[in-house]
């Protein structure tokens, strides 16, 4: 029996959007095949070399629809204050009046797909159902990779009314008629005018972060922009770590890290590369699941050197968006192995050569690949209970100020470090790239309510929780006047993870500094690295003047939240100032 609540919502939306037909997706192989055939026929997809890249396809988006549009993304709550200063706010009434009409007849001549999907492992107490109605077959094909889609989700839903509704229409793809609205009271999402991943795959940022963060606040858990990895030591013991970095700052690479040969016996297992849902277990620890089933990763820079596991994951059954294509039908992007091809077709479909001024692949071009194809996917990937987390790592992309790694003094200090995180902007969102902005817990674009209250929620959850994770901050991107990146990064980041693990186990040495605990001079294993002692010193340096300036700027940021900023955050700020001035 079909879910009554769902069928009547589908009927209601069909009445407004007027599609030629409505198709309920079951997630089957045959269904996917026929969607792909249809997209190859209408030009939505380009076939890649099926011998070398079985079942892989290329999509070229509209050239103005290539990244998330944060300025067109709204939190719709009765009061502006509940969205807070980091979100755009629109009242639900205004959204209905101003955005609603964009859906009128928007699916005429198109098919409306009903896409039921499950976020989280089948049978997990943390898993949640969403349904996306969309007129984009490309969205359906991507949702099939990124979520557990189709019958499995309808089965999980049963006749419950507890699901997140998402309505998506490509509209006319004009940025002038584009909006992504989150009706937080109703757990309802509207997205119109964009086919881009973060705007259109509604299970991802819209549900699993913006709506879910609101649900998590109400229900006492956390929905976070974090990778989840298992770090295996030479004895075979695995410890789980979550890490929050802003979009396009290396979450996928860290989640799939391959330790260099010198780090014998160490390896990383991938549980997730973008989103973590965390709940408190009966043992008082934080347990994490990855609500997603696939990776929507940044292509440029991905190579066998930087992330061989990602390359293996996307070797078949993958969708590429806005990458270039070589004459033999292989996907290509800047930073991929080997020399650039002598000629290629760029992401817009134009001829390209290495002398062309523009990059061949868009800087935010992406691959969509099933997690099950990842060689280092964790054996716990589908575990309903998830994995217990021992450390939380915050990180930004900062040329200056932040050292390679430091540990928070305690949970409250850790929340302060996360809350005041800053990072240089990337191509994952439209707008200027390389500008330092505060991006608390990497959630600035994704927190579905007032971030002052969000910090309060974090503080509350961790109160009197001795078994909660230890908190750290890392910065792989520190530079000097002569060196772009002082730290080698990628596989060598395992050295930093090892220190973090050592701290968790009470084994690694650290020294107190005003900003937190840093490794002592020989606590970090840097054997075999081509790293001068000056570079190492620079990586670990804390410049008092820089940090006084930094803490002034942090205070400015905290102030923006007025009464919503918990007093504890101001106490932490005061204590940091006092330590810096001592």
Q: Which residues of this protein are in contact with Mn ion, per CB under 5 A?
A: 247, 274
> Judged by CB under 6 A, does residue 457 bind ligand SAT?
no
Active site amino acids? 249
How far the first Cα of the chain sits from its last, in Å, is 69
> Judged by CB under 6 A, does residue 204 bind ligand SAT?
yes
CB of 234 to ligand SAT, least distance (A): 33
> Judged by CB under 6 A, does residue 229 bind ligand SAT?
no
Q: Give the interface segment with ligand SAT, choosing from 72-80, 158-166, 197-205, 569-577 (CB under 6 A).
A: 197-205
Cα distances (Å, whole numbers) of residue 248 to 195, 266, 300, 468, 490: 19, 25, 10, 28, 14
Q: How many Å apart are CA 291 and CA 268, to the nearest integer?
A: 19
Tell me which of ligand SAT, Mn ion, none is bound by residue 296, counting a contact when its beta carbon lies within the kind-specific cut-off of 5 to 8 angstroms: ligand SAT
> Judged by CB under 6 A, does residue 296 bind ligand SAT?
yes
- What lies within 8 Å, CB to CB, of 476 at 6+ separation is 250, 395, 397, 404, 485, 487, 489, 493
The four Cα atoms 454, 270, 201, 135 give a dihedral, to 10 degrees, of -160
Buried b vs exposed e over 141-179: b needs ≥16 C-beta within 10 Å? bbbbbbbbbbebbbebbeeeeebbbbbbbbbebeeebbb
CB of 302 to ligand SAT, least distance (A): 14
> Judged by CB under 6 A, does residue 59 bind ligand SAT?
no
DSSP 3-state of 36: helix
> Judged by CB under 6 A, does residue 247 bind ligand SAT?
yes
CB of 67 to ligand SAT, least distance (A): 7
Residue closer to ligand SAT (CB basis): 352 or 394: 394
> Judged by CB under 6 A, does residue 68 bind ligand SAT?
yes
> Judged by CB under 6 A, does residue 197 bind ligand SAT?
yes
> Judged by CB under 6 A, does residue 395 bind ligand SAT?
no
Q: Which of 93, 229, 108 is nearest to 170 (CA)?
A: 108
Tell me which of Mn ion, ligand SAT, none is bound by residue 440, counting a contact when its beta carbon lies within the kind-specific cut-off of 5 to 8 angstroms: none
Tell me which of Mn ion, ligand SAT, none is bound by residue 204, counting a contact when its beta carbon lies within the kind-specific cut-off of 5 to 8 angstroms: ligand SAT
Residue 354 sits at the vertex; the CA angle it makes with 350 and 355, to the nearest 5 degrees, is: 90
DSSP 3-state of 533: helix
CB of 314 to Mn ion, least distance (A): 17
> Judged by CB under 6 A, does residue 295 bind ligand SAT?
no
- List the one residue from 205, 210, 279, 285 that touches ligand SAT (CB under 6 A): 205
Residue closer to Mn ion (CB basis): 110 or 182: 182
Residue closer to ligand SAT (CB basis): 206 or 286: 206
> Judged by CB under 6 A, does residue 198 bind ligand SAT?
yes
Binding residue count for ligand SAT, defined by CB under 6 A = 8
Q: How many Å apart are CA 212 and CA 286, to the nearest integer?
A: 17
Name the CA radius of gyration of the chain, rounded.
23
Q: Which secondary-structure segment (H or E) carries 180?
A: strand 179-183
DSSP 3-state of 111: strand
411-419 and 567-581 helices cross at what angle (nearest 10)? 90
405 touches 499 (CB < 8 A): yes
CB of 251 to ligand SAT, least distance (A): 8
451-461 and 212-219 helices cross at what angle (nearest 10)? 40
Q: Give the interface segment with ligand SAT, choosing from 13-21, 36-44, 198-206, 233-241 (CB under 6 A).
A: 198-206
Site string for ligand SAT, 367-386 (x = CB under 6 A): --------------------
CB of 208 to Mn ion, least distance (A): 10
Q: How many Å apart are CA 190 and CA 198, to the nearest integer?
A: 13
Q: Give the interface segment with ligand SAT, choosing from 134-142, 196-204, 496-504, 552-560 (CB under 6 A).
A: 196-204
Residue closer to ligand SAT (CB basis): 294 or 519: 294
CB of 567 to ligand SAT, least distance (A): 32
Chain residues that interact with ligand SAT, rule: CB under 6 A: 68, 197-198, 204-205, 247, 296, 428
């Amino acid at each position: 029996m079909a879910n009554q609540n769902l069928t009547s919502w589908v009927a209601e939306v069909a009445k407004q959007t007027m599609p030629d037909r409505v198709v309920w997706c079951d997630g089957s192989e045959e269904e996917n095949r026929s969607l792909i055939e249809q997209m190859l026929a209408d030009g939505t997809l380009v076939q890649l070399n099926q011998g070398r890249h079985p079942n892989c396809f290329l999509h070229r988006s509209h050239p103005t629809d290539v990244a998330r549009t944060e300025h067109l993304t709204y939190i719709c709550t009765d009061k502006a204050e509940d969205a807070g200063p980091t979100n755009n706010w629109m009242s639900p009434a205004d959204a209905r009046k101003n955005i609603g009409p964009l859906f009128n007849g928007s699916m005429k001549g198109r098919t409306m797909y009903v896409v039921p999907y499950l976020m989280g492992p089948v049978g997990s107490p943390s898993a949640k159902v969403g349904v996306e109605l969309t007129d984009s077959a490309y969205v359906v094909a991507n949702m099939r990779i990124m979520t557990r889609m189709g019958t499995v989700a309808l089965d999980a839903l049963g006749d419950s009314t507890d699901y997140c509704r998402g309505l998506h229409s490509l509209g006319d793809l004009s940025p002038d008629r584009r909006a992504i609205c989150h009706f937080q009271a109703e757990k309802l999402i509207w997205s119109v005018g964009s086919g881009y991943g973060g705007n259109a795959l509604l299970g991802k940022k819209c549900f699993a972060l913006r709506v879910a963060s609101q649900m998590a606040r109400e229900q006492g858990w956390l929905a976070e922009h974090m990778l989840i990895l298992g770090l295996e030591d030479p004895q075979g013991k695995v410890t789980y770590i979550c890490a929050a970095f802003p979009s396009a700052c290396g979450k996928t690479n860290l989640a799939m890290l391959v330790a260099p040969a010198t780090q014998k016996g160490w390896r990383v297992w991938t549980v997730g590369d973008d989103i973590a849902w965390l709940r408190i277990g009966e043992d008082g620890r934080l347990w994490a699941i990855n609500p997603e089933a696939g990776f929507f990763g940044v292509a440029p820079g991905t190579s066998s050197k930087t992330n061989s596991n990602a390359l293996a994951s996307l070797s078949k059954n993958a969708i590429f968006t806005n990458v270039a294509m070589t004459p033999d039908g292989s996907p290509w992007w800047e930073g991929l192995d080997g020399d650039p091809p002598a000629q290629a077709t760029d992401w817009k479909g134009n001829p390209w050569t290495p002398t062309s001024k523009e990059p061949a692949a868009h800087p935010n071009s992406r691959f969509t690949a099933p997690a099950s194809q990842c060689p280092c996917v964790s054996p716990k990937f589908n575990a309903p209970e998830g994995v217990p987390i021992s450390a939380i790592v915050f990180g930004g992309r900062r040329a200056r100020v932040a050292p390679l790694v430091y540990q928070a003094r305690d949970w409250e200090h850790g929340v302060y470090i996360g809350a005041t995180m800053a990072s240089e902007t990337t191509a994952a969102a439209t707008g200027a790239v390389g500008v330092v902005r505060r991006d608390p817990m990497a959630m600035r674009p994704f927190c579905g309510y007032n971030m002052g209250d969000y910090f309060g929620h974090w503080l509350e959850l961790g109160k009197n929780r001795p078994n909660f994770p230890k908190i750290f901050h890392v910065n792989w991107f520190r530079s000097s006047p002569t060196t772009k990146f002082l730290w080698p990064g990628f596989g060598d980041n395992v050295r930093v993870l090892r220190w973090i693990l050592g701290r968790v186990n009470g084994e690694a040495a650290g020294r107190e500094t005003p900003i937190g605990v840093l490794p002592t001079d020989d606590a970090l294993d840097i054997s075999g690295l081509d790293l001068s002692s000056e570079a190492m010193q620079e990586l670990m340096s804390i410049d008092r003047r820089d940090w006084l300036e930094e803490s002034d700027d942090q205070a400015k940021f905290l102030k923006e939240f007025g009464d919503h900023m918990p007093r504890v955050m101001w106490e932490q700020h005061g204590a940091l100032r006092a330590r810096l001035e001592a």
